[in-house]
Amino acid sequence: MKKIIRLLPRGRITIPSEFRQNLGINEDTLPNLELKENKIEITPFNLCDKSKKDLRNYTNKEIAEFLDEDKIDKKTAKVLRKLISQGNL
């Protein structure tokens, strides 16, 4: 199975649903990335098979940046609140 995908901002990717279904992975699965020559290999990470030292530790600054990126602007928040209060969302 092969598929071409587009990178999202900051290098993020979405694994196509067919791939996730075939591998039996979901949003709780931790992906393990490995650079092999000129390819990236992505495999499900199993904490039973590997030590926790393989997990990346994020700094408080990085966590703050992630949270800041996920914020929506005030205008969008106002529209969403209105839609929710009307039962349309």
Reported pTM: 0.46
Among 15-24, 38-47, 72-81, name the most confident range.
15-24
Whether 68 and 84 share a structural domain: yes
Alpha helices for the chain (secondary structure H): 17-23, 60-69, 74-85
Whether 26 and 65 share a structural domain: no
pLDDT number for residue 27: 82
Return the number of other C-beta atoms located less than 10 Å from residue 42's C-beta. Answer: 14
Whether 10 and 38 share a structural domain: yes
| DSSP assignment letter at 34 | E
Number of domains in the chain: 2
Q: What is the mean pLDDT of the chain?
A: 82
Q: Which domain holds residue 62?
A: 58-89
pLDDT in tens, 31-72: 888 899 999 988 887 655 555 566 677 888 888 888 787 788
* Three-state secondary-structure class, residue 87: coil
76 confidence band (pLDDT: 50, 70, 90): confident
